[in-house]
Structure 1
Amino acid sequence: MTRLLASALLLLLAACSTAPSGPPPATVAQVDLARYAGIWFEIARYPNSFQDAPGQVCIATSATYTARPDGQIGVINRCEDAAGQPNIANGSAYAVDGTGNAKLRVSFFWPFYGDYWVLGLDPDYRWALVGAPNRKYLWVLSRTRAMTEADYAAATAIAAREGFDPARLRRTPQPSSNVATP
C-alpha cells in the first residue's frame, strides 16, 4: 500500500509541474457527479511509473468515487498486483469552478493535487475517458470489467482527436472475480 501511495504522489507532482505542449485537450461540457459516483474499472491506460513499477504491475484496477459531506469527492484507487496483493490509495477530489465538473483536482497526499480531466463520457455513463492536460496520462474506464470494441473505439477516437496517441494505451486485465471491488 505504501508503494501505491508513493506512486500516487509522484503522479500528482508530475501532473502539477509539467507544462502541457500545445493547446490543452477539450473536456466534456458537463459531468453529473452524482451519476459519475460509484465504481469504474480500468480498461486501458498509458503506462506510468505508479501503476507499472517493477514487481508491482497493477491488474484488476478500479476507482471508486463517492460524494462527501464536505462537498468533496472521496476517491479510492485499488489494484491487485500479479502476486494477488491488493494496493489501495485513498484520496479526495474537488471540481474546478466553471468547468461543468469536467475538470477535477485529485489529491492522495495533501497539499499536492493532480489534474483529472473527463475528456469523453458515454451519455449513459457506461464509460469514460480521463486524462491529464499535459497528455502524459490517459485512462479508459468502464462501469463493467469488459467494454465493447465499439465503445473502446469511440473512447480512443476522442483520445486521438484531443492529441493523445491511442497506440500507447495498454489493456488492463480485469478478471471476472470481485478482486478489485472495494
Structure 2
Amino acid sequence: MKAWCALIVVAALTACTAKPPAPGYRDDSPLSITTRDDDKRLAGDWQVRGYYPGDDALQQVAFLPEWQGTPAFELVTRSCEDTGDCEDVGEIWRAKSLGPNRWTISGPHSEAERELWVVWVDEGYRTAAIGAPDGRYGWVLDRTAKGGADRIKAAREILDFNGYDIGAMILR
C-alpha cells in the first residue's frame, strides 16, 4: 500500500512540473519537414488557404529561388481603405537557407524575421503546409484559390500531427 501511495505522489509531482506548451499555435513536439526537396517545383505563386490570427491580410506567398542571386519570398497582403477600396501589396523577404525546405526570411523594412519550414507538400506541388517551428504561425498554401478540399484537409492533418492547433486556423 505504501508503494502505491509513493507512486501516486511521484506521478502528481511530475505532472506539476510538466513543461508548459510553447507560445504560438503548436505544442513543443518535434517538428518534421517534408523530404520532397525541389526548389523549381516549389517556386511560384501560392494562395493562402489557411492561416492563424495575425496573418489575416496575407493573401499570397511566392517562392523566388533566385531573386537577385539569393532565395526570397514575396508576401502579398491586402490593404483596405475605410472607403472599402482594397489593394494587394507585395513585399520581398530575403531568405537564408537553414537546410532543405527551411529558411529564415527577413522583412524589407524592419528587423522582422520569420523561420519558414515546409512541413508537407503534396506529390504534385499543388498544396503545402508551412509552419514556424516555434508555432508563431502556420499556413496552408495552394496553387489555386478554390478547390482541392482533399489536399487542404491533408495539409491541416499534417499540421495537426506536428503539434499545431488547427482549431485556431482560419480557412479561406
Aligned partner of 1:47 among 40, 47, 53: 53
Aligned 8 A contact 1:24 1:134 in 2 = no
Q: Provide the secondary structure at the position in 2 that maps to 1:123.
A: coil
**How far is the alpha carbon of 1:44 from its aligned partner?**
0.9
Structure 2-normalised TM-score? Answer: 0.73
- Counterparts of 1:165-176 in structure 2, within 5 Å, are 165-172=165-172
**How far is the alpha carbon of 1:95 from its aligned partner?**
2.1
Seq. identity, %: 22
2:93 matches 1:91? yes
- Counterparts of 1:95-134 in structure 2, within 5 Å, are 95-97=97-99, 101-109=100-108, 113-134=113-134
Aligned partner of 1:23 among 26, 29, 32: 29
Query: Which residue in the other structure is 1:154 paired with?
Result: 154
- The AA in structure 2 aligned to 1:157 is E
CA shift in 2, pair 1:134/1:62, >3 Å? same
**How much is the aligned-residue C-alpha RMSD, in angstroms?**
2.4
Query: Which residue in the other structure is 1:74 paired with?
Result: 72
Which string of whole-angstrom CA distances, capped at 9 and with x for unpartnered residues, describes residues 60-93 of structure 1?
x111222226652132111223531223221111
Q: Provide the secondary structure at the position in 1 that maps to 2:91.
A: strand
**How far is the alpha carbon of 1:30 from its aligned partner?**
3.4
How far apart in 2 are the matches of 1:22 and 1:64? Answer: 28
**How far is the alpha carbon of 1:153 from its aligned partner?**
1.3
Aligned 8 A contact 2:27 2:164 in 1 = no
How far apart in 2 are the matches of 1:47 and 1:31? Answer: 29
Which string of whole-angstrom CA distances, capped at 9 and with x for unpartnered residues, describes residues 90-131 of structure 1?
11113213xxx2211111147653210111110110000000
Q: Which runs of 5+ in 1 are unaligned?
A: 1-17, 53-57, 173-182
Q: Provide the secondary structure at the position in 2 that maps to 1:151.
A: helix
Aligned 8 A contact 1:62 1:77 in 2 = yes
**How far is the alpha carbon of 1:169 from its aligned partner?**
0.9
Aligned 8 A contact 1:43 1:147 in 2 = no
**How far is the alpha carbon of 1:40 from its aligned partner?**
0.4
Structure ID, larger Rg: 2
Q: Which runs of 5+ in 2 are unaligned?
A: 1-22
CA shift in 2, pair 1:152/1:69, >3 Å? closer
Query: Which residue in the other structure is 1:3 paired with?
Result: none
CA shift in 2, pair 1:30/1:95, >3 Å? farther
How far apart in 2 are the matches of 1:78 and 1:43? Answer: 13
Q: Provide the secondary structure at the position in 2 that maps to 1:135.
A: coil
Aligned length: 144
